[in-house]
Amino acid sequence: MTDGPPRTTISAWRPTVPGIAEVFHAHFTEHAYPSHTHDTWALMILNDGAVDFACDRHRHGATGSGTVVLLPPGVAHDGRTVTSAGFRKRVLYLDATVLPEELTGRAVDGPVFGDELLRHRIHQLHTSLGRPDEGHAAAVDLDDMHPGIVHTGSVHTRDAFEAESRLSFIRERLLFHLAALRPPRTPGREANRLAAALRDLLDSRLPTGISLQEAAAALHAHPTHLIRCFKQTYGLPPHTYLTGKRIERARGLLLDGRRPAEVAATVGFHDQAHLNRHFTRHVGTTPARYAATRRRP
């Protein structure tokens, strides 16, 4: 599906593989992600091009097909194209059954891995998952696990076991890298406490929202102090965090088959136009077009 600037394409779907919340393929030529967070780990490889991004306010770059980017859950990040050709990426959103959240801090300082073996294994996993519009996938040699054995057949019959096997090798390699990273830097105790309390409050009030004055009264803190603590801890203002969480929730509902207008009301946007504006800014396409890329039964 093509929309937006020329050559911009997006595909997204939920595979039937435990641990993988979403598969997202995109070619962006001009899109710039605003700062946001995810509940999941975002594991990205590039097919080509270059991307510049910030993770916890520190800028990084990834170029070509030789690197792997791992963005941890709950940490603010953005992303933007570097050249007019843009970049092609493939992303796996992984839940805590693959990587525990307590490893989040270790990934902040080093989110880019120059590991060709890891990159190759991720590529193979994407291949085994197929695409949302494919009924069959190409033959893939499981050279990491069983040299010489080639598995073919429909995505529906083979992807679960094969993909779980490939994911286990990817997890092993990621844990190796994360174990080598230094422990995270942490803000002050009070900032952590207030920020975590506000984050829990925002998460619990996702559909209805909450005013800054209400939050400050509930947490017995001055409003501006509360904002500073949140930004110091999570790297973005509370209102930006809330919008990003609503977009993330909307993505899941759209891939579950819910209508955009219904999704807008469910996650807390004023109307579908409000959802469209923020969704396009975050994801690079409209909710309707995003939903249309999902895997059909």
Question: 94-105 b/e with 16+ CB inside 10 Å = b?
Answer: bbeebbeeebbb
Cα atoms found within 13 Å of the Cα of residue 224, Cβ hemisphere only: 0
Is the whole-model pTM more than 0.75?
no
Distance CA 37, CA 255 (A): 19
| Phi, psi dihedral angles at 62 (to 5 degrees) | -135, 135
Tokens representing 12? 């997204």
Write the burial class of residue 123 (CB in 10 Å: 0-12 exposed, 13-18 middle, 19+ buried).
middle
Tokens representing 85? 């050709």
The pLDDT of residue 185 is 55
The pLDDT of residue 4 is 47
Distance CA 133, CA 60 (A): 33
Distance CA 291, CA 297 (A): 14
The pLDDT of residue 183 is 58
Distance CA 71, CA 43 (A): 7
The pLDDT of residue 136 is 35
Answer yes or no: are the C-beta atoms of 15 and 129 closer than 8 Å: yes
Answer yes or no: are the C-beta atoms of 293 and 11 closer than 8 Å: yes
Task: Identify the CA nearest to 112 among candidates 38, 202, 193, 174.
Answer: 174
The pLDDT of residue 156 is 41
Maximum alpha-carbon separation in the chain? 65
Contacts of 9 (CB under 8 A, 6+ apart): 1, 2, 25, 26, 27
| Average confidence (pLDDT) per 10 residues, the chain, 297 residues | 62 91 91 89 93 86 86 90 88 94 84 92 90 40 33 40 86 89 62 90 91 89 86 88 94 93 94 93 92 67
Distance CA 194, CA 285 (A): 35
Q: What angle do CA 90, 93, 95 make, to 5 degrees?
A: 160
